Amino acid sequence: MVVSFFESFFEIQKEVHQAVFAWIPFSFGDVFYILIGVFLLYYIVISFKKKRRHFSLLTLLIGVNIFYFLYQIFWGMLYFQTPIIKKLSTQEEPTTEKAKVLALKYLEKCKKTRSLVKEDRNGIFIITDLRSIQKEILAGQASLPKSISGKKAPEVNSFKPSLFRNVMSFTGILGYYNPFTAEAQYNSQLPNTYIPFTSAHESSHQLGFAREQEANFVGYLIGINSKNSELRYSTEYFTLKSLLNFIVEKDPEFVKTMLENYSPQMKRDRAYEKAFVLQHQGWLDDFFGFTNNLFLKSNQQEGSVTYSYFIDLLLNYERV
Ligand SMILES: [Zn+2]
């Protein structure tokens, strides 16, 4: 009851927020976060002055409470929605055998789609038209299976490159949704293989799917049958990587063979992704030691354990 109230509330909030913020050419949400940071810092500094301590601590307390309250009603309550897995016709545990069958299927799809897209002079996949990918994602939201998403797809373009792209590259964040402005931020520095699928993932948050792995699944549904080959390649490639991540613990030999069977184009894309991660991770590891790993785990972006709910959804959806 309470949750369905917030689901309806989210529909209205989405419309209002997008009308207010989507047209702004940069991420207004990022500016908002910077202002919050300045506000916090200012009142923390003043709280060291005896005379104004009482006032500044009270302001901080009220500020933090308002922020938390807004976060909860704009977003936090959506974590209590019915899980997508309950909406699928089966709820079977994923098995390595099934995952292997799908992985082989997705390797073939990736190879085929990769041969249709453009590459730079180093032979790495590049996006030629981000706008049309974004349009395609929004159209995809509107044609999701009704049994999985009953949410309104307003088809408002509110994708924004993040103002914090350097920080993102070094911390391994691909994108994020801002619940205060309903904008979808992505890291424009990322290897292009990530960008279309990350956009589809963040747009699923915009649609109203809060859980990380469900946003992956909805992003997958949006991208997998797309006529846009750049979006489709990025989605197929993400799906393949997720499957291999799931399989690798049980059967590393299989994964090794799969990687060897990547097409030369895919091998170049993979090498480029690895170089990007290494280049940035190296810097972070030098300064913060283990934080990056911890971060990735808590952020549920990497790590085979947290991939499994997406795999659950995928294997129950694509029954093999
Ligand atoms: Zn997400």
Residues 45-72, mean pLDDT to the nearest whole number? 92
Structural domain span for residue 90: 83-317
User: pTM for this structure?
Assistant: 0.90
In angstroms, the Cα distances linking 45 to 50, 84, 96, 258 are 11, 45, 55, 55
pLDDT score of 249: 86
Looking at the predicted structure, is the pLDDT value of residue 289 above 70? Answer: no
What pLDDT is stored for residue 279 in this prediction? 83
Spacing of C-alpha 203 from chain mean position: 8
d(CA 57, CA 63): 10
Same domain, 43 and 109: no
Q: How many domains does the chain have?
A: 2
Closest by CA position to 3, among listed 69, 77, 83: 77
Cα of 215 to ligand 1 centre, how many Å? 6
pLDDT band at 81 (very low <50, low <70, confident <90, very high): very high
Instruction: Verify that 168 and 242 share a domain, yes or no.
Output: yes
- C-alpha of residue 176 to centroid of ligand 1, in Å: 6
Would you give the end-to-end CA distance of the chain in angstroms?
Answer: 36
122 by Cβ neighbours in 10 Å (0-12 / 13-18 / 19+) ranks as exposed
Say whether both 71 and 184 belong to one domain: no
Q: Ligand 1 centre and the CA of 61: distance in Å?
A: 28
Q: What is the pLDDT of residue 223?
A: 97
Rounded average pLDDT over 110-123: 97
How many angstroms is it from 85 CA to the middle of ligand 1? 18
pLDDT of residue 203: 95
- Does one domain contain both 16 and 133? no
How far does residue 177's CA lie from ligand 1's centre (Å)?
7
Per-residue pLDDT, averaged over 232-258, amounts to 94
Per residue in 160-204, pLDDT (tens digit) is 999 998 888 887 788 999 999 999 999 999 999 999 999 999 999
Same domain, 70 and 88: no
Q: Which of 35, 64, 79 is at the close of a domain? A: 79
Instruction: Report CA(186)–ligand 1 centroid distance (Å).
Output: 10
Distance CA 201, CA 183 (A): 12
Instruction: Give the 3-state secondary structure of residue 165.
Output: helix
Query: In the predicted model, is pLDDT for residue 306 greater than 80?
Result: no
Q: Are 288 and 189 in a shared domain?
A: yes
Q: Please indicate, yes or no, whether residues 61 and 130 belong to a single structural domain of this protein.
A: no
Ion ligand 1 — residues with CB < 5 Å: 212, 215
Among 67-71, 169-173, 266-270, the range scoring the smallest mean pLDDT is: 169-173
Instruction: Name the residue with tokens 């019915």.
Output: 82
* 246 CA distance to ligand 1 middle (Å): 19
Residue 3, pLDDT score:
81
121 plus 266 within the same structural domain: yes
Picking from 79, 95, 127, the residue at the C-terminal end of a domain is 79
Are 19 and 148 part of one and the same domain?
no
The rounded Å distance from CA 267 to ligand 1 centre is: 26
Residues 293 and 211 in one domain: yes
For residue 205, the CA-to-ligand 1 centroid distance in Å is 7
Same domain? For 62 and 174 the reply is no
37 and 175 share one domain = no
What pLDDT does residue 300 have? 41
Residue with tokens 């997998």: 224
pLDDT at 171: 79
Q: Please say which residue of 31, 59, 79 terminates a domain.
A: 79
The per-residue pLDDT of the chain, averaged, comes to: 90
Both tokens assigned to 134: 């974004």
pLDDT beyond 70 at 291:
no
Sequence-separated contacts (24+) of 75-82 with Cβ below 8 Å = 75/179, 75/210, 77/2, 77/3, 77/6, 78/6, 78/7, 78/10, 78/208, 78/209, 78/210, 79/210, 79/211, 80/2, 80/3, 80/6, 81/3, 81/7, 81/208, 81/209, 81/210
